[in-house]
């Protein structure tokens, strides 16, 4: 029988595996896809671990990249029984890139003194990292879970990342669409401490995310993140924040298209208001008032969506009555954030009333002019402006009841829109 080596290669470093392939596949027992013999795998793994522990002490480099773990993995604990594969409690570097964990991963209290790499790893069972410590204080990265896929719960409760934790483009709770209460498969960073950055850009959370009391000493990156379920970020404290969104604008496309302006999507209406509030408060702390305005805009929209979820009838009524005011504030000023949008709405109101006065000359008492003459349109524009500003010079007067009504409506709209100018200027320049 000819001797064949394992044909697995690490896609990122093109490093191959030099172990012997098993009789029935092109891979060694460690890299062979499922199904495979657990005792055989356990034996090979234990040989591997003791070799590394002997050779590299104390800066042990555990290279498990591409391994396919056929059953649960844990750090050694007597209560877990015999069906498990064991990891050492302390490691120098842990490389699990492209590794597949077919069972649960229970690495509670694991200590990785250098860095842990789980790039493109796949967790088919639970991934529990409670109380683990990752990373060097000096190095740039303490843990990389970029492009990792978590099929079930991922728990990073009380975990300490001594420098940056990178989860970009990871997918959490794939296939789960439960609600918060029913869904035990949530992702939790509760009370985790990240001394560097937390990279969650491009992450997809199919399941609930819990970031209660999470401390991030540097920046929290959320560009392009997609939260499809419950998102609890109460008391999450980041030093600064990147969302990758654009400010609310007066561009008309922006009035309808939500996604065009914001790369972050929060689908759960019950919790999105709190999510945006956290964003706004972080931006305010950073002194980024434009970003805070934009976050406030999304906070208000989320709040309006949550109206129908209010419990009692009176709460519902109050919220529904607030909708018109809310709509006015949103479309005319982007909730006090956009002076451009306010000026556009001034122009729209003045222009449309001027057109009404020009096209229906019988509304006003004034010398009759041809409808399409410049004189007629200029006079109408002038009258519309004096009405809008509630100047009321009285040189032109309403002719009919309908004319009086039109003027009253324009004057009321003008009063409100002019008052809003004070509000927007105040918000923008006096904080």
Window contacting Zn ion (CB under 5 A); options: 20-28, 142-150, 302-310, 414-422: 20-28
Is residue 300 at the binding interface for Zn ion, with CB under 5 A as the rule?
no
Q: How far apart are CA 213 and CA 196, in angstroms?
A: 16
| Closest to Zn ion by CB, 19 or 427 | 19
DSSP 246: P
Question: How far apart are CB 31 and Zn ion at their closest, in Å?
Answer: 3
Q: For residues 230 and 211, is the Cβ–Cβ distance under 8 A?
A: no
Is residue 8 at the binding interface for Zn ion, with CB under 5 A as the rule?
yes
- Per CB under 5 A, the list member of 28, 91, 133, 162 interacting with Zn ion is 28
**Residue from 156, 208, 205 nearest 182 by CA:** 208
The gap from C-alpha 369 to its chain's centroid, in whole angstroms, comes to 58
CA atoms within 13 A on the CB side of 198: 26
Window contacting Zn ion (CB under 5 A); options: 3-11, 56-64, 104-112, 193-201: 3-11
Is residue 17 at the binding interface for Zn ion, with CB under 5 A as the rule?
yes
Is residue 29 at the binding interface for Zn ion, with CB under 5 A as the rule?
no
Is residue 19 at the binding interface for Zn ion, with CB under 5 A as the rule?
yes
- Per CB under 5 A, the list member of 13, 22, 31, 129 interacting with Zn ion is 31
Window contacting Zn ion (CB under 5 A); options: 13-21, 100-108, 287-295, 340-348: 13-21
Question: How far apart are CB 15 and Zn ion at their closest, in Å?
Answer: 11
Window contacting Zn ion (CB under 5 A); options: 10-18, 71-79, 151-159, 318-326: 10-18
Q: Determine if residue 135 is left, alpha or beta; phi over 0 gives left, psi from -120 to 50 gives alpha, anything else beta.
A: left
Is residue 73 at the binding interface for Zn ion, with CB under 5 A as the rule?
no
| Closest to Zn ion by CB, 64 or 156 | 64
Helix (H, G, I), strand (E, B) or coil at 237: strand
Q: How far apart are CA 149 and CA 118, in angstroms?
A: 10
- Quote the tokens at residue 319: 């919220």
What is the rounded end-to-end Cα distance, in angstroms, of the chain? 80
Question: How far apart are CB 44 and Zn ion at their closest, in Å?
Answer: 9
- Quote the tokens at residue 323: 């909708």
Question: How far apart are CB 57 and Zn ion at their closest, in Å?
Answer: 24
| Closest to Zn ion by CB, 33 or 140 | 33
Q: What is the CA radius of gyration of the chain?
A: 31
- # binding residues, Zn ion (CB under 5 A): 6
Q: How many Cβ atoms are within 10 Å of 378's Cβ, its own excluded?
A: 13
Q: For residues 366 and 382, is the Cβ–Cβ distance under 8 A?
A: no
| Closest to Zn ion by CB, 48 or 355 | 48
Q: How far apart are CA 207 and CA 355, in angstroms?
A: 53
Question: How far apart are CB 17 and Zn ion at their closest, in Å?
Answer: 3
Window contacting Zn ion (CB under 5 A); options: 16-24, 77-85, 114-122, 211-219: 16-24
SS (H, E, C) 7-60: CCECCCCCCECCCECCCCCCCCCCCCCCCCCHHHHHHHHHHHHHHHHHHHCCCC
Window contacting Zn ion (CB under 5 A); options: 8-16, 42-50, 208-216, 264-272: 8-16
Window contacting Zn ion (CB under 5 A); options: 28-36, 39-47, 109-117, 337-345: 28-36
Q: Kindly give the pairing relationship between strand 164-166 and strand 149-150.
A: unpaired
- Per CB under 5 A, the list member of 1, 3, 4, 6 interacting with Zn ion is 6
Question: How far apart are CB 7 and Zn ion at their closest, in Å?
Answer: 8
- Quote the tokens at residue 222: 């959320």
Residues numbered 254 to 273 that lie near Zn ion (CB under 5 A) are: none
Binding-site ranges for Zn ion (CB under 5 A):
6, 8, 17, 19, 28, 31
């Amino acid at each position: 029988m000819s001797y064949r080596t394992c044909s697995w290669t690490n896609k990122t470093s093109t490093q191959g595996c030099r172990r012997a392939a098993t009789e029935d596949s092109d891979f060694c027992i460690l890299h062979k896809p499922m199904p495979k013999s657990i005792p055989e795998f356990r034996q090979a793994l234990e040989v591997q671990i003791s070799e590394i522990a002997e050779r590299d002490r104390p800066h042990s480099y555990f290279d498990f990249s591409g391994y396919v773990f056929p059953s649960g993995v844990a750090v050694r604990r007597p209560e877990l029984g015999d069906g498990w594969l064991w990891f050492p409690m302390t490691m120098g570097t842990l490389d699990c890139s492209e590794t597949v964990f077919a069972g649960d991963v229970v690495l509670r209290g694991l200590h990785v003194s250098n860095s842990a790499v789980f790039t493109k790893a796949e967790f088919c069972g639970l991934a529990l990292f409670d109380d683990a410590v990752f990373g060097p204080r000096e190095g740039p990265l303490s843990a990389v879970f970029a492009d990792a896929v978590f099929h079930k719960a991922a728990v990073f409760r009380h975990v300490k990342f001594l420098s940056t934790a990178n989860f970009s483009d990871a997918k959490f709770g794939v296939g789960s669409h439960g609600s918060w209460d029913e869904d035990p498969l949530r992702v939790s960073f509760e009370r985790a401490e990240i001394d560097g950055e937390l990279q969650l850009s491009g992450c997809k959370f199919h399941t609930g995310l819990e970031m209660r009391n999470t401390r991030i000493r540097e920046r929290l990156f959320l560009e392009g993140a997609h939260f499809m379920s419950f998102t609890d970020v109460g008391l999450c404290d980041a030093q600064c924040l990147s969302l990758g969104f654009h400010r609310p604008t007066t561009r008309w496309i922006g009035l309808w298209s939500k996604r065009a302006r914001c790369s972050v999507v929060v689908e759960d209406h019950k919790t999105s208001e709190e999510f945006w509030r956290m964003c706004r408060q972080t931006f305010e702390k950073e002194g980024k008032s434009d970003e805070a305005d934009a976050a406030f805009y999304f906070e208000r929209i989320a709040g309006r969506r949550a109206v129908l979820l209010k419990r009692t009838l009176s709460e519902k009524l109050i919220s529904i009555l607030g909708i018109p005011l809310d709509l006015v504030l949103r479309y005319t000023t982007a909730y006090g954030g956009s002076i451009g949008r306010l000026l556009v709405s001034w122009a729209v109101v003045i222009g449309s009333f001027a057109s009404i006065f020009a096209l229906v000359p019988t509304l006003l008492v004034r010398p009759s002019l041809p409808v399409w003459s410049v004189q007629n349109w200029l006079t109408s524009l002038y009258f519309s402006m004096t009405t809008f500003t509630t100047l009321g010079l009285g040189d032109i007067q309403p002719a009919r009841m309908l004319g009086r009504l039109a003027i009253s409506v324009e004057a009321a709209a003008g009063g409100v829109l002019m008052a809003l100018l004070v509000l927007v200027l105040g918000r923008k320049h006096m904080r």
